[in-house]
Amino acid sequence: MKRRSLVSFPALVALSAALLAPLAVQAQGKTLRIVPHANVTILDPIWSTAFVTRNHGYMIYDTLFGTDANGAIKPQMVDKWSVSKDNLTWTFTLRDGLEFHDGAPVTSADAVASIKRWASRDSFGGVLAKSVDDYATPDAKTFVIKLKQPFGVMLEALGKPSSNVPFIMPAKVAATPGSEQIKDNIGSGPYKFVQAEYKPGEKLVYVKNEKYKPRAEPPSVTAGGKNVYLDRVEWVIIRDPQTQFNALVAGEVDIVEQPTFEQYASLKAAKGVQLVDAQPAGLQYIFRFNHKHPPFDNVKIRQAAMVALGQVEHLKAQVGTPGMYKFCKSMFPCGTPYASDNTGYYTGSADPKKAAQMLKDAGYNGTPVLLMRPTDLASIAKLPLVAKQQLEAAGFKVDMQQMDWATLVARRAKKDAPAAGGWNAFMTAWTAGDIQNPLTMAMMNAAGENGWFGWQDDKQIEELKVKFAQAGSDAEKKKLAEQLQLRAIETATHVHLGQYNNPAALRDNISGLVPAGAQVYWNIKKN
C-alpha cells in the first residue's frame, strides 16, 4: 500500500505540493478527496483480497445482497427470491432499473457469470460451487441456482460483505477466467470509474452514476440505500504518513483511511479534524505460511512457528496505544458468534524454548524463512520485525525482504520457490467481518492450488466447511466452527496475532461515513 519515502524531507514536501496543488483548483464543493490506506495496483475485485481492491469494487459495482449492522442479509440488486421445499432450488428475481455504466441493462446472465467467476477464487464461493448442480436463466431478470445438496448459507454467500465480494459485472467481462485479471472496469454501482484519469501510484477518480437507483432503506453496512451526494471522488495516493497528516490538517484531502497509530494524539488535538471508527468490530493481525515450499511445507515446523509467535509483543510494537488492541486466543475474532478459547496447543503467548524443541524434533535443517515486509504500509510494517525476532529466538533462520505493499501483493500470488521469486511467509490484517466464520475466512480455504495465497491442501477442513454450510441450527454451526478452529490450528493454517482498531481521520465538514467493516463511500456529505 505505501512505500517509506527515501526522498529528503524538502523534496517530499515539494512532491506533495506538486501532487496536491492541482486538487485545490480542480475540485470544489462536492468533490471528496480520500487518501486510501494503500496504493491500488489491482482493480479486479476477485483477483486480490487486498482491502483497497475491495473498496474500489464497492465504488463501481453492486451486489445481489448486502449485510446490515446486525448481520442480517438484505436484498440489494435482488427484488425477490424463493427456495423450494427440499432446499435444492433457489430462484432470484432482479429489481427494476439496474443498468451498467455503459448503458446495458443488468441481466440474469450477468449475475450467473459473475457468481461463477467469484466462486472460482473465493473460499466461500468455492464451498457454494461444490453444492451447485446447475444454473438457469429462464428470463432476463430471473436466475435459478439448482443444488445437489442443501446449502443453508446461500444468502450469506451472495451477501458476503468483504474480500472477496461477489460483485456483479457484465457477463462478457465475467467470462474472463479467474486466473486472469479483467481489463474492463464496468459495473452498475453508485460511482463510475474514470479510466482516462487513472494514474497508477498517483490517483484514481470516480464520478457519480446519475442513473443509479438506490434502495429506499437507510444504509447499514453494505445493505440499504447507496445514496450519492458527491459529484466526484478522488483517491489520492500519498505514501508518506507525515505528508498524509499535513494534507488532512491543511484541508487538501478530506479523509485519511488509516493514519499511523503514532499520529492519533496529534489528530485528536488538530483543529478541523475528527476520528471515526468505520470498523467498530476491529481487525485481526495474521502471519500466513506458504504451505507449498520448505520449511513450512512441514506441518510440525509450522506448529513450532505458531508456538514461537506471541500476540502481545506484536500488538505493543505495532499499535502501542492502550485501549486500541486486545489479546484474543480465538481464531475467530473475540466478540463474534463463533469465537472460542478452545485452541489446542496454541496459547497466543510466545514460548521460544518450547518452539525450539519442537523445531528440533521436526528436523529443521536451517532452511531460511523468506518473510516479506511491506515498508510503506504503516498499519502492519512493524509486525515482520517482531516476527523475525521471535522466530530467530526459537532457532529459525529468517531472510526478511523489504518491499512496498503493491510488490508484496503481486509476489504473494506467485507459487514459485522463494529462491525463484516466491516466498515463505507474509503478514497482514483482516477486518472482523471477513473472518468471523469458516466460510468467509480466506485462511481456511484449504483447496490446494485453487486456494488462497499459501495454498494449503487439507480435505478435512474442506469437508467440515461443507458440513458447516449445510448445518441446520446455530448450535450445530457453533460446534462445527470449533472443530474447524482446532483443525486449522492443528494443521497451522496461519497464526492469528490479536485484535486492534484503526479509526479513520476526517475533516470535520464530512459526515455520513457508514460503519461497514469494508470501507464504503456512499451516504457521505461534504458540508
Q: What is the CATH classification number for the domain harbouring 169? A: 3.90.76.10
Indicate whether 340 and 437 sit together in one domain. Answer: yes
Residues 480/464, Cβ–Cβ less than 8 Å: yes
The three cell numbers of residue 457 are 491442501
Does residue 272 lie in a domain region? yes
Mean pLDDT of 197-204: 95
Helix residue ranges, H only, 162-281: 171-174, 241-249, 264-269
> Which residue do the cell numbers 467493516 mark?
517
Does residue 200 lie in a domain region? yes
| Domain assignment of residue 302, given as a range | 283-500
Per-residue pLDDT at 434: 86
Q: How many CA atoms lie within 13 A of 143 on its CB side?
A: 19
Residues 137/109, Cβ–Cβ less than 8 Å: yes
End-to-end CA distance of the chain: 29
Indicate whether 142 and 214 sit together in one domain. Answer: no
Does residue 398 lie in a domain region? yes
Does residue 266 lie in a domain region? yes
The three cell numbers of residue 337 are 458468534
Does residue 205 lie in a domain region? yes
Q: How far apart are CA 443 and CA 123, in angstroms?
A: 9
The three cell numbers of residue 282 are 476491529
Q: How does residue 517 score in pLDDT terms, banded at 50, 70 and 90?
A: confident
Indicate whether 307 and 450 sit together in one domain. Answer: yes
Q: What percent of the chain has pLDDT over 70?
A: 94
pTM: 0.84
Indicate whether 384 and 454 sit together in one domain. Answer: yes
Using omega within 30 degrees of 0 as the cis cutoff, is the peptide bond preceding 298 cis? Answer: no
Number of domains in the chain: 3
CATH of the domain at 260: 3.40.190.10
Q: How far apart are CA 492 and CA 476, in angstroms?
A: 24
Dump pLDDT digits (tens) for 308-322.
Answer: 999 999 999 999 988
Angle, vertex CA 357, rays to CA 352 and CA 362, nearest 5 = 120
Q: How far apart are CA 392 and CA 368, in angstroms?
A: 10
Indicate whether 24 and 129 sit together in one domain. Answer: no
CATH of the domain at 471: 3.10.105.10
Indicate whether 15 and 133 sit together in one domain. Answer: no
Q: How does residue 200 score in pLDDT terms, banded at 50, 70 and 90?
A: very high
CA distances (Å), 32 to each of 18, 145, 228, 286, 314, in order?
19, 40, 11, 32, 35
Per-residue pLDDT at 13: 39
| Cβ-based neighbour number of residue 126 at 10 Å | 21
Q: Is the pLDDT of residue 520 over 50?
A: yes
Indicate whether 383 and 413 sit together in one domain. Answer: yes
Indicate whether 22 and 74 sit together in one domain. Answer: no
Indicate whether 462 and 478 sit together in one domain. Answer: yes
Does residue 411 lie in a domain region? yes
Mean pLDDT, the chain, as a whole number?
92
Indicate whether 432 and 368 sit together in one domain. Answer: yes
Secondary structure (3-state) at 273: strand
Residue finishing a domain among 174, 203, 218: 174
Mean pLDDT of 171-191: 96
Using omega within 30 degrees of 0 as the cis cutoff, is the peptide bond preceding 164 cis? Answer: yes
Indicate whether 242 and 228 sit together in one domain. Answer: yes
CA distances (Å), 398 to each of 36, 154, 362, 456, in order?
31, 43, 17, 21
Q: How far apart are CA 32 and CA 49, in angstroms?
A: 25
The three cell numbers of residue 140 are 432476463
Per-residue pLDDT at 518: 81
| Cβ-based neighbour number of residue 120 at 10 Å | 15
Residue finishing a domain among 115, 146, 174: 174
Residue finishing a domain among 174, 209, 235: 174
Indicate whether 302 and 412 sit together in one domain. Answer: yes
Per-residue pLDDT at 5: 35
Per-residue pLDDT at 16: 44
Q: How does residue 415 score in pLDDT terms, banded at 50, 70 and 90?
A: very high
Does residue 423 lie in a domain region? yes
Dump pLDDT digits (tens) for 22-67.
Answer: 444 344 449 999 999 989 989 999 998 889 999 999 999 999 999 9
Does residue 81 lie in a domain region? yes
